[in-house]
Amino acid sequence: MLLIAGGNSDAAVFKRLADVLAVDHRVITYDPRGNSRSLLDGPPTDQQVEEHTDDAYRLLDHLTGPGESAYVFGSCSGGLVALELAVRSQDRIRLTVAHEPPAMGLLPDAEEYLAFFDDVHETFRREGVAAALRKLQLVFGDGPAPTLPEAHDNTAFFLAHTLRPVTRFVPDLGKLVTMADRIVVAGGRDSRTHAVHRPAVVLAERLGCERKLFPGGHVGYARYPAEFARRLVGLFTAPSGAATPFRTGAGG
């Protein structure tokens, strides 16, 4: 299982989840490019989903044997990377779970959200991290961000170089539709009313599959690792994979 963190998180955010999964599975996770121990060569630049996908592919290729395939779970911007990886590596990925990928470009009011993220970025530049995070919490239910395990604080890098480019990335729906039986679009039970959950709703509809709900909110895997792991393994080991008929509403 390959676990891909998103936003300003690093491999530490999956520590408790990985400990549970590792009882029965080989688990791989890592610090995304620019975060914590994945240091950049040269000055920081805006981060692109395509480049992060290249990183994930090379890591998977390095750590797996010839013909070996993997299950992939990606959270937030890591969900976007997971979807792009699924498109590029259809022979290597058994099933992909994308948990609340922030593909805001799929929304009917996409321009408003993209302008909002531009404003958060400018707030960061003018007033710093705290002011930007106060504004950003509007898309997470207007509550303070939870304290998450991390090797280092990557918030400034995220606000400066990750937030805007990843929220502008739109998955290749044409290709994803052709492999929808190996894609699970997921979100948190407690974040169903949050703006960050909306792209998952639209993406599931566009792929004709049922959105799956997981324990907790946007980062439920950090708070409820055992329950989250059971839900995840259940999807990975289901005989039919993600190929469930579409119904209006959310999956249980």
Q: At what angle do helices 110-127 and 129-136 cross, to 10 degrees?
A: 160
The string of pLDDT tens digits covering residues 200-211 is: 999 999 999 999
Q: What is the pTM of this model?
A: 0.93
Exposed e or buried b per residue across 127-159, where buried means at least 16 C-beta atoms within 10 angstroms of its C-beta: eeeeebbebbeebbbeeeeeeeebeeebbebbb
Distance CA 9, CA 153 (A): 8
Is residue 186 within 8 Å of residue 215, measured between CB atoms? no
Is residue 204 within 8 Å of residue 106, measured between CB atoms? no
pLDDT tens digit at each of 252 positions of the chain: 999 999 999 999 999 999 999 999 999 999 999 999 999 999 999 999 999 999 999 999 999 888 889 999 999 999 999 999 999 998 899 999 999 999 999 999 999 999 999 999 999 999 999 999 999 999 999 988 788 999 999 999 999 999 999 999 999 999 999 999 999 999 999 999 999 999 999 999 999 999 999 999 999 999 999 999 999 999 988 754 443 332 223 333
Reduce the DSSP state of residue 193 to 3 states and report it: coil
What pLDDT, on the 0 to 100 scale, is given for residue 249? 33
